Amino acid sequence: MSRFMVSAPQPEAVEAGLDILQQGGNVIDAAIGAALVQTVVDPQMCGIAGFGSCHIYLADGTHTIIDFHGRAPSATKADMWEHLIEGECEDGFGFLLKGQVNEIGYQCMTTPMTIKAFEEVLDRFGTLSMAETIQPAISYCEKGFAVRPQVYNFWTMPEVSGRIPRVRGMTENPATAKIYTKSDNSLYKIGDILKNPDMANTYRRIAQNGVKDFYTGEIAKQISNDMAANGGLIGMDDLASCKTIETNPLWTTYRGYEIATNQPPGGGLVILIMLNILKHFDLTKMGHNTSEYIATVSEAMKIATIEKDSRMGDPEFFDIPLEELLSDSFSTEMAKKIKNGEKADVIRLNSGADPKETTHICVADKLGNCVTMTHSLGSSSGVVTDGLGFMYNNCMMVFDPRPNRAGSLAPGKARFTALSPTIVFKDKKPFLLVGSPGGTTITMGNLQAILNVIDFGMDAQQAVSAPRFTTTSNTIELTNRILRSTEKELQSLGYPTKRHPFSYMMPILQAIRLTGDKLDGGADPSGDGMAVGL
C-alpha cells in the first residue's frame, strides 16, 4: 500500500519528489523539489522566472493557496500596444500584435515570481531548506537530461494562426541559443543530453545566498542591467517589490462533494461556475461523452468562458461579481437556458492560436497531506540573460491591449489565467487532487477529470486518460477518440466541431485520488510523465 503518491508530466520530477519523501521530507518538500527539477528538464514550460498557484491542504487542518502570478512592470502603459493589434486568440487567451512584442523578446515579461513562492512555501510548511531542496535540480543542470518528446515537440512547433514558430524562441537570443543549440546551430534532438551549467551556477548562488539574491542582490542587478540594455520593462524596483498573495480557497458543492480551488486571478472560479451549472443535470444518465453530454457540458464551458472574458480579471484592479457568479440563482438561470436549447455565443475579435505551455505537480500522502501546484512561463519569452541560464516568462501576451477592459494593461496588474489547482473533499477529507498545464484548456480538462471521478466513478488514471473535448469558443474541439457518430450528432444539433488528429490533447492532466488510506494516481498519456506511489 502506498504511503505517498507523486504525479507530474516529467518522470525526472516524479523521481525527485519520491527521493525526497524517502529521505524523510514531507509533501511540501517533495512538491517544491520536484517543481525545481521541472524548471530544469522542462525549461520552457516552467522556470524560476515564471508564475503559478500552489494549493496546500495539510492533515493538521491547514488549508491555503499561495498565489504567485507575475505582474506587469511599473513601466507598463495601458495603451502602449493598442495600435499594434492584429487579432485575438480564438479562445480569448491572448492577442496577436504587430512585431509580436507581447510574445517574444524583452517587453513580453511580467515580474518573475516562482522562486520567491517556492522559498516561502518551503519556509512555512516544509522541513527542508531551499539549499537542500534545490540540489536535485542542480544535479540535472550539471549532468544533463535526455530531451524528451514533449520538450522537443515544443521547440519545433510551427507557426500557427499568427503565433511565432517556437524555434525563434530557442535561437534568436544569443544566450538562449548557446544553451539549446549545438555547434552546428541545430537544436538538440530527442534523446540528446542537454546540460545547462549557467543555470547550475545560478541555482548554487540561490542555495548559498538565498532567494533574496534574485530579487535585490547580484542576480537582480544582472537581470536589471540586461533588461535596460535591451529595451526591457522590468527594473530593480519591480524585482524588489515582488510578493506572493495568500488566499482562502473558493468553494462550491457538487453531488455531495466539496470542491476547493483558487481565487482570481487564477481560473478556479471558471471551474466552479461550470460545476454549479452542471449540478442541474443528470450527467450519469446522459452517458459519458454522448452527444447530449458533450453539448450540455460544452454550453457550461461557453457560459463560463463568456464570464471569464467579460467579468474576470485581477481582483486588485477589477471588481469581480463573485457572489453573483457563484449564486444559485445564476446557475439555475444558466441551466434553464441550456435546457431550453439556447446556445451561448462566444464573441472573439479575431482568431488565432492559444499557447498551452505550463506544468503541474501533485503530491499526497495517506494521512491526507497534499499539494497541487501549477506553474508556468506562459509560452516563454525566448530570452535568457547571458550567464544566468534560465528563461523568462512571456505573460504580457495575455493582457488586453485595449484600455478600460477587465484584462487591460496596467502597471502592477496580474493577468487572469486558467491555472486552477483543485482539491475535491469527501466527508471533509481530501478525495481528489487535480491540475494541469494547457492554457485556457486547463479549466476544461480539470472539470472533466472531476466529472469523470464523481459522476462516472473513474479512478485517477482513468479520469485523466478518458477521451476529452474542450469548448472555449463556439466550436467544440474533439480528440480523435470521440466517436465520429457522436460528432455527426453534435453537428446535427447545430454545433460546429473541430476534430484533432491526436488521441490525447491538452491539457496534460495530473491527478491523485485518496480513498480511505489508499492512494491512486494518474498521469495524462498525452505527456511524458507518470504517477508513482511509494
Q: Which grid coordinates belong to 512?
A: 491523485
- Provide the phi-psi class of 231: left if phi over 0, else alpha when psi is between -120 and 50, else beta: left
- For the residues 11-22, what does the mean pLDDT come to? 98
Q: Are strands 245-247 and 359-365 parallel, antiparallel or unpaired?
A: unpaired
Q: Are residues 99 and 214 in the same domain?
A: yes
Domain count, the chain: 2
CA-to-CA distance for 256 and 240, rounded, in angstroms? 45
CA 144, 149, 153, 154 torsion-angle sign: negative
Domain assignment present for 26: no
**What is the model's pLDDT at position 93?**
61
Is the pLDDT assigned to residue 71 strictly greater than 80?
A: yes
Tell me whether residue 169 is in a domain. Answer: yes
User: Euclidean distance between the first and final Cα of the chain, in Å?
Assistant: 8
Identify whether residues 429 and 389 lie together within a single domain.
no
Is position 24 within any domain? no
Q: For the chain, give the mean pLDDT.
A: 94
The percentage of the chain sitting over the pLDDT mark of 90, rounded to a whole number, equals 85
Apex 354 CA angle, 351 and 360, nearest 5: 165
pLDDT-based confidence at residue 351 (cuts at 50, 70, 90): very low
Is the domain of 115 the same as that of 63?
Answer: yes
pLDDT in tens, 120-163: 999 999 999 999 999 999 999 999 999 999 999 989 987 655 56
Q: Is the pLDDT of residue 89 over 80?
A: no
Kindly state whether residues 219 and 284 are assigned to the same domain: no
Reference 12, options 136, 193, 130, 191; nearest CA is 136
Q: How far is CA 416 from CA 141, 265, 397, 407, 413, in A?
A: 32, 5, 11, 7, 9
* Cα angle value 309/311/314 (rounded, 5°): 95
Instruction: Look at the block and give the residue holding cell 485595449.
Output: 402
**Do both 223 and 342 map to the same domain?**
no
Query: What is the reported pLDDT for 356?
Result: 47
Please tell me the distance from the alpha carbon of residue 316 to that of residue 412, in angstroms, as a whole number. 9
Q: Is 525 exposed, middle or buried (0-12, 13-18, 19+ CB in 10 A)?
A: middle
Average confidence (pLDDT) over 175-202: 96
Task: Note the pLDDT tens digit of each residue in 25-36.
Answer: 999 999 999 999
Out of 244, 358, 359, 472, pick the active-site residue. 358
Instruction: Indicate if 149 and 67 belong to the same structural domain.
Output: yes
CATH (domain of 284): 1.10.246.130
Q: Residues 209, 64: one domain? A: yes
User: Do 254 and 118 have their domain in common?
Assistant: no
pLDDT digits (tens, 9 = 90+) for 505-526: 878 999 999 998 899 999 999 9
Residue 327 in any domain: the answer is: yes
Mean pLDDT within 402-429:
94
Locate 171 and state its grid cell: 535561437
Confidence class of residue 105 from pLDDT cuts 50, 70 and 90?
very high
Strand order in the sheet with 63-68: 245-247, 63-68, 51-57, 370-376, 359-365, 4-8, 530-533
* Predicted pLDDT of residue 516: 86
| Residues 402, 211 contacting (CB under 8 angstroms) | no
**Is 443 contained in some domain?**
yes
235 lies in some domain: yes
| Three-class secondary structure of residue 490 per DSSP | helix
Which pLDDT belongs to residue 350? Answer: 44
Instruction: Examine residue 240 and state whether it is found in any structural domain, yes or no.
Output: yes
- Residues 94 and 179 reside in one and the same domain: yes
**In Å, what is the CA distance from 411 to each residue of 107, 383, 414, 417, 469?**
13, 21, 9, 17, 36
Domain span at residue 436? Answer: 250-353+423-509
Both 67 and 91 in one domain: the answer is: yes
For residue 347, name the pLDDT band (cuts at 50, 70, 90): confident
Nearest Cα to Cα of residue 348 among 82, 98, 90, 86:
90
104/135 same-domain check:
yes
Q: Are 33 and 14 in contact (CB under 8 A)?
A: no
Q: Is residue 18 part of a domain?
A: no
358 carries an active-site annotation: yes
Whether 383 and 497 map to the same domain: the answer is: no
